[in-house]
Amino acid sequence: MSKASEKRELILKNAKQVFIRKGFDRVTMKDIIEECGISRGGIYLYFSTVDEIFIEVVKKHNQEKIECIRTSIEKNQDFNQLVDEFFADQKRRLLNMDKSMFVAMMEFCFAHKNVSDRDFYTEQFYNTKVIILEILKFGQKAGAITAKNIERLADSILFLIEGLRSLAVSSEISGELVDEQLQVGRGLIYSDLF
């Protein structure tokens, strides 16, 4: 990796921590500069605005999640284990919203009303669906599920998870409720409803 690529990665890694701690609305370039321990001029060689950094952080974060699932599938991981890991990860995220990018993403969405920003948010929202679809396609190929319409099934699981995320951000959510609802999602995967 070149020195420039390393510096860019350092900025994104540290900026992600700032967004997790402060959300989106309260983050300034100064916050990111201080977190990175670089000069003001140093950061502007790579990024012009907080928005630009945020968009790159989110894209990188989501791409890493997709690559992780694809790697598990390529290793021919057991389908049931993959499903269990997916839902365990969702539970961990839901119960630790203070350590996630979700609040920052919601703030970004509410602060940006132009079409390109809304398109970006929609694309990131559906990245979770991409992950779910990868898992479901693997399940179909392995003969582990009978669902015919995995697009619709993925949408149902996505909306269940997004509803739980919204609840987790707006109020306190119990581990018991999360377990119950994620069990519903798991049940949908193995049902013949789709």
For 135, the token pair is 């898992």
pLDDT one digit per residue (tens) for the chain, 194 residues: 788 889 999 999 999 999 999 999 999 999 999 999 998 888 999 999 999 999 999 999 989 988 988 898 888 789 999 999 999 999 998 998 878 888 888 888 888 778 877 788 788 878 889 999 999 999 999 999 999 999 999 999 999 999 999 899 888 899 999 999 999 999 999 998 89
Helix or strand holding residue 181 (H, E): helix 175-190
Spatial CA neighbour of 101 closest among 133, 47, 35, 56: 56
Q: 19: burial class by Cβ within 10 Å (0-12, 13-18, 19+)? A: buried
CATH for 3-190, options being 1.10.357.10, 3.40.50.10420, 3.40.50.2300, 1.10.287.40: 1.10.357.10
Helix or strand holding residue 164 (H, E): helix 150-170
Extents of the domains making up the chain: 3-190
Q: Are 169 and 163 in contact (CB under 8 A)?
A: no
For 95, list phi and psi in degrees, rounded to 5: -85, -5
* CA pair distance 109, 114, nearest whole angstrom: 10
Q: Residue 131's pLDDT is what?
A: 92
pTM for this structure?
0.83
